[in-house]
């Protein structure tokens, strides 16, 4: 566990961001920090080099703490959440960002069970049960918790609705997470806990850079995306921050496309 900037516990709302060391997760960490949150970063490395962007959280008066955890290790969920609650003094938001892409790209008819199972274990099973544990922690805190907007945000993908036959395991897990969002939203709404889904589009991140082809640039050049550019981590981060701060208070269980209009149905 490592830390940047120390201040009194409990003063600011606390968000947990899984997969927060890079890409969309790091974008969420920075924008949450700018929006008044302290942030617990959960990711895989035991002793990472912390990204310099975290200085922006400190500059905004916040702090970050790092916790190493593989979200597919369900046995660790409870202890890590307990540690975060103890270190920060409160829990307010969980951003489920951690996940794996479909690598290598594999035709649907050639996909092997082990690749499918790995995606399910991390993207779906890990996210589901971490969400369950976090929800239980919020409910257990009850009236003793600091007054604030409580939320769970699940980062899915355009692949939750659009089909990519060379990324079938990714599509299956992300579409399932859309239902996970609805289920938890329905269960937790009466307790004042909002559950949101964000569907990023063609994003420019280390994960997408590993594709190693010009597919995204070609799609943008062909006008597939009405706003003709790749999305950036801060685009998703700003959406996360808006939801986590309660800027859309009468909404839960709905997907928000952060995709430059890619989801607009068009024939030509």
pLDDT digit string, tens, across residues 169-208: 999 999 999 999 999 999 999 999 999 999 999 999 877 6
Is the pLDDT confidence value at 1 over 60?
no
Average pLDDT over residues 236-249: 98
Virtual torsion, Cα 144, 42, 79, 5, nearest 10 deg: -60
Percentage of the chain surpassing pLDDT 90?
Answer: 87
The CB-side HSE value for 173 (13 A sphere, CA atoms) comes to 25
Does position 4 have pLDDT exceeding 50, yes or no? no
Q: Which of 52-56, 62-66, 142-146 has the lowest mean pLDDT?
A: 142-146
Q: What are phi and psi of 175, to 5 degrees?
A: -65, -35
**CATH node for 3-258:** 3.40.50.720
Residue 9's pLDDT band (cuts 50, 70, 90): low
DSSP per-residue letters across the chain = --EES---TTSS-EEEEETTTSHHHHHHHHHHHHTT-EEEEEES-SSPPPPGGGHHHHHTT--EEEEE--TT-GGGHHHHHHHHHHHHS---EEEE-------S---GGG--HHHHHHHIIIIIIIHHHHHHHHHHHHHHHGGGSPSS-EEEEEE--GGGTS--TTSHHHHHHHHHHHHHHHHHHHHHGGGTEEEEEEEE-SB-SHHHHTT-SSHHHHHHHTT-SSS-S-B-HHHHHHHHHHHHTTSSTT--S-EEEESTTTTS----
Which pTM value belongs to this model?
0.94
pLDDT of the residue at 143: 74
pLDDT in tens, 152-167: 999 999 999 999 999 9
């Amino acid at each position: 566990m490592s830390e940047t900037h120390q201040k009194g516990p409990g003063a600011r709302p606390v968000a947990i961001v899984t997969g927060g060391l890079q890409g969309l997760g790091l974008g969420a960490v920075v924008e949450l920090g700018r929006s008044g949150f302290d942030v617990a970063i959960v990711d895989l490395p035991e002793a990472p080099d912390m990204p310099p962007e975290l200085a922006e959280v400190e500059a905004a008066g916040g702090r970050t703490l790092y916790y190493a955890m593989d979200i597919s290790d369900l046995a660790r969920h409870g202890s890590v959440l307990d540690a975060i609650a103890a270190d920060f003094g409160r829990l307010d938001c969980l951003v489920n960002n951690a996940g794996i892409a479909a690598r290598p790209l594999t035709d649907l008819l050639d996909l092997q069970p082990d690749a499918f199972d790995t995606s399910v274990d991390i993207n779906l099973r890990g996210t589901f049960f971490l969400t369950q544990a976090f929800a239980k922690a919020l409910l257990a805190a009850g009236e003793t918790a600091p007054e604030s907007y409580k939320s769970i945000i699940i980062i899915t993908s355009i692949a939750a609705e659009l089909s990519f036959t060379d990324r079938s395991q990714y599509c299956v897990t992300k579409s399932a997470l859309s239902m996970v969002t609805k289920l938890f939203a329905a269960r937790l709404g009466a307790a004042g806990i909002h559950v949101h889904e964000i569907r990023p589009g063609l994003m420019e991140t280390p994960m997408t850079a590993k594709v190693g082809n010009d597919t995204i640039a070609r799609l943008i050049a062909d006008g597939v995306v009405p706003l003709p550019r790749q999305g950036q981590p801060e685009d998703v981060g700003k959406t996360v921050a808006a939801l986590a701060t309660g800027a859309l208070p009468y909404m839960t269980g709905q997907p928000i496309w952060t995709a430059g209009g890619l989801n607009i149905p068009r024939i030509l």
